[in-house]
């Protein structure tokens, strides 16, 4: 997302954290900062709720495929799972959306599973960028 935000400066990129501000700030330091992505803390998960992102079910989080894909991501790309930050909830469903300048959703929705790869390039294309 950060790389795309640097390439597509006409798009306002926002990431939403459901951890505490302190945990979010610590995570941002670990990943090298937000760059051109605004990071909003929504510890009460009110924004998540407004977008229909509630608590997932066991199949969403604990599907055996998710564990396999997590191991493969670690082996192939060196990305290993981390503990959920303070105040966060592993059961929170994630999602991604592309909203045009009129406020219309042009792309996205809730994640189908925790191992779903979000294609932010497709989001940019949906916005005509």
User: Which residues are registered as beta bridge partners of 110?
Assistant: 95
pLDDT per residue over 25-75, tens digit each?
998 998 899 999 999 999 999 999 999 998 876 665 666 776 676 677 678
As beta bridge partners, residue 95 has 110
Instruction: Tell me which DSSP letter residue 15 carries.
Output: E
Do the beta carbons of residue 13 and residue 7 sit within 8 Å? no
pLDDT confidence tier of residue 105, bands split at 50, 70 and 90 = very high
Q: Where are the beta strands (DSSP E) in 1-129?
A: 13-17, 37-41, 95-99, 105-110
The pTM for the full model equals 0.79
């Amino acid at each position: 997302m950060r790389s795309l935000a640097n390439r597509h400066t006409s798009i306002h990129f926002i990431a939403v954290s459901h951890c505490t501000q302190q945990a979010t700030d610590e995570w941002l330091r670990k990943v090298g900062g937000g760059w051109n992505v605004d990071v909003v803390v929504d510890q009460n998960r009110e924004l998540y709720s407004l977008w229909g992102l509630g608590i997932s079910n066991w199949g969403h989080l604990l599907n055996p495929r998710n564990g396999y894909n997590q191991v493969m991501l670690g082996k192939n790309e060196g990305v290993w799972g981390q503990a959920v930050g303070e105040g966060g909830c592993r059961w929170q469903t994630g999602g991604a959306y592309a909203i045009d300048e009129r406020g219309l959703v042009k792309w996205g929705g809730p994640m189908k599973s925790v191992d779903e790869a979000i294609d932010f390039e497709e989001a940019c294309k949906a916005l005509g960028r």
